[in-house]
Structure 1
């Protein structure tokens, strides 16, 4: 595929994810973690305009000078921005304005790419496409949260990505202690936090070949798991008391029967599906209750060839830290990963919402341990 064809395919997929939405759905921001869908569509467009067109396309005129303030996410090098909690207050620019913005930038990008670009700009373009694909996954998280917190529990679509969820084959795989190599190796696209490749010493361990199911997690709830402080980290126990959480996100007990909101709408809980939308706090407490633990990210990477993965992001016991020799790129692009290497846990694998080319066993996803709106699950280790 040409660079333009790659660009066009990624850009059109973002729009297709939103195709089932009503205009009112594009503007909602129920909580700070959730961005309105229209903001994602604008921000990913801003990325190409800011990092490629403005500095490199001759005579390019920005669509709207105010959009740098509206759609800059966290790039301190780029300047002031609307704070994250205020994205839902942006009734303007309108949804139509943002689609006009996308069309304007796409037309300029088509002209620019067909004129030929050097290796440096091609590298920027590929980063931008992968950046938009990350936002495509976030769009799934945010759309589900927006619809799932509407009191009417509206369906996104009867056929959707969640119908791919399954736990996998039952069993355990054993690994001997030894020195293993960790990190990305190859010449395909990868993020800087996957570098550099290094050796780690790992003790004997076993890892489950499947994810924890809803039925198994329900046993934890019914056994009083959310009431037993012995199972929880101190910070997690404080979080439970502050929030009153007693079950995974999107679970509802109605007339004595558990239900779960999915992108298909509210439905009776499917006991054989993997438990999802779980925080690290809950995943760790469940593992404690089972007399086991979560794998480290290094154990997970070593073992990943021995089980199927890619339905849910899997919490690990590892803090999100730089690998040996990690270095940030200069300028704004250096803010992409390194600045977040504090107070976060690593998740490995992929989810039903993950673009196919992001499903690699060295990919390091990361979130704060209390978050649950992403497609996350539990794999046990011992």
Structure 2
């Protein structure tokens, strides 16, 4: 499951320190109350994210590879285990906001203690432990994106809609022209991470094994759907008519009174959106975001096309730089940027595909608790590709498979279209 990283522990130590530092920087503007609040069961408090990622390193590296290691606090495994059944009992996910103690400062102290112990031990740890440290860094990067989107949801539920970051400076960009189509003649293509043990890159277990699949002739859009295009969908009755919706999606629209993307609100002067820089007018040229799979599928139907399969997306994206585009580099304003003329597949918004999140042929989960990381979630969810403005740069790749339930939309999720030829 795990891929080897650079042999020098100093390189891994530098990466570890950089990842851990970014998490603290993201949380820096928050009060203890901000970091404790939980706005819904799908979201977790910032304080929990900071502690859980620390528990991961303490548990799977320090506890398991350092004989005689004493836990920083014997209560923390119960509080900060997420879903690892092999690690025993844990606090209920939907009650994480009730953990008012330890304080945010105590969690920072926990992080500092574990970081110091791990960095001291790293040069003497075996290769297997180095691989787990690498996994832990990628795991923490996933939680950095969750931390941002969970903060956004929390502040979006606050009646005064506070801003914690200043607005991003943007050079005005004109509305993009009509969608261009990248055609593919079809045929047998290789999908998934190749597992090349001679390379130093990383992949999660769900990205392999690499295998062949058949693509039929198709075309995929050269950009994602914009806010302006989504506003036209709304104006044309997109949320008022059932004909473009899956049955489960239409039931969700009616039950939840869904009428626009999450954080959108119509005011006298037009559509606005809430972000971590406060409430502002939507940018019609920017990619639409915070839409569910149900909404993405309905929009595609309204547009007379469909969502791409994850295999079509990966094949088209393989020639593009996964570290390019608008992704997270440091703590600060996070927002999709206006679309540009050149085709782009990475950054700004995760893109829903029409593919169910299921294992690839030959997939086997690893033994032990780490094997629970991905495999047991391969039910009832859909795959997203491409990374977002909240994805740490360098975290994504063409084979990367993100996944969420079809109604979820608090992440930076958007839409790229496809069609049959």
What is the rounded CA distance, in whole Å, between the counterparts of 2:14 and 2:83 in structure 1? Answer: 29
* TM-score, normalised with respect to structure 2: 0.87
2:366 matched residue in structure 1:
329
Greater shift, 87-96 or 305-314, is seen at 305-314
Tell me if structure 2 keeps the 8 A contact 1:148–1:261: yes
2:162 alignment partner, one of 154, 159, 162: 154
What is the rounded CA distance, in whole Å, between the counterparts of 2:127 and 2:302 in structure 1? Answer: 52
Q: 1:359 to 1:168 in 2, by over 3 A?
A: farther
1:96 CA displacement: 1.6
1:153 CA displacement: 1.1
Q: 1:168 to 1:356 in 2, by over 3 A?
A: farther
2:16 matched residue in structure 1:
7
Where does 1:131-280 land on structure 2 (aligned, <5 Å)?
131-159=139-167, 170-185=179-194, 186=196, 187=199, 188-255=201-268, 257-280=270-293
Unaligned 5+ runs, structure 1: none
What is the rounded CA distance, in whole Å, between the counterparts of 2:172 and 2:91 in structure 1? Answer: 36
Q: 1:121 to 1:266 in 2, by over 3 A?
A: same
Is the aligned partner of 1:377 residue 2:414?
yes
1:130 matched residue in structure 2:
138
Tell me if structure 2 keeps the 8 A contact 1:168–1:211: no
What is the rounded CA distance, in whole Å, between the counterparts of 1:40 and 1:162 in structure 2? Answer: 30
CA offsets, 1:103-155, max 9 Å, x none? 111121121114x2211111111111111111011111111111122111111
1:92 matched residue in structure 2:
101
What is the rounded CA distance, in whole Å, between the counterparts of 1:163 and 1:324 in structure 2? Answer: 46
SS for the counterpart of 1:357 is coil
Is the aligned partner of 1:359 residue 2:372?
no
Tell me if structure 2 keeps the 8 A contact 1:297–1:318: yes
CA offsets, 1:320-377, max 9 Å, x none? 0100110000010010000000000000111011122222110000000000000110
1:52 alignment partner, one of 56, 61, 72: 61
What is the rounded CA distance, in whole Å, between the counterparts of 1:163 and 1:133 in structure 2? Answer: 28
What is the rounded CA distance, in whole Å, between the counterparts of 1:84 and 1:201 in structure 2? Answer: 40
Tell me if structure 2 keeps the 8 A contact 1:164–1:352: no
Unaligned 5+ runs, structure 2: 1-9, 321-342
What is the rounded CA distance, in whole Å, between the counterparts of 1:152 and 1:311 in structure 2? Answer: 26
Tell me if structure 1 keeps the 8 A contact 2:176–2:285: no
Q: 1:155 to 1:88 in 2, by over 3 A?
A: same
What is the rounded CA distance, in whole Å, between the counterparts of 2:91 and 2:212 in structure 1? Answer: 42
* TM-score, normalised with respect to structure 1: 0.96
What is the rounded CA distance, in whole Å, between the counterparts of 2:394 and 2:284 in structure 1? Answer: 30
1:32 alignment partner, one of 36, 41, 52: 41
Counting matched residue pairs gives: 381
What is the rounded CA distance, in whole Å, between the counterparts of 2:53 and 2:173 in structure 1? Answer: 28
Taking only aligned residues, the RMSD between alpha carbons, in angstroms, comes to: 1.9
Q: 1:162 to 1:117 in 2, by over 3 A?
A: farther
CA offsets, 1:67-124, max 9 Å, x none? 010000000000000111000111111112111111111121121114x221111111
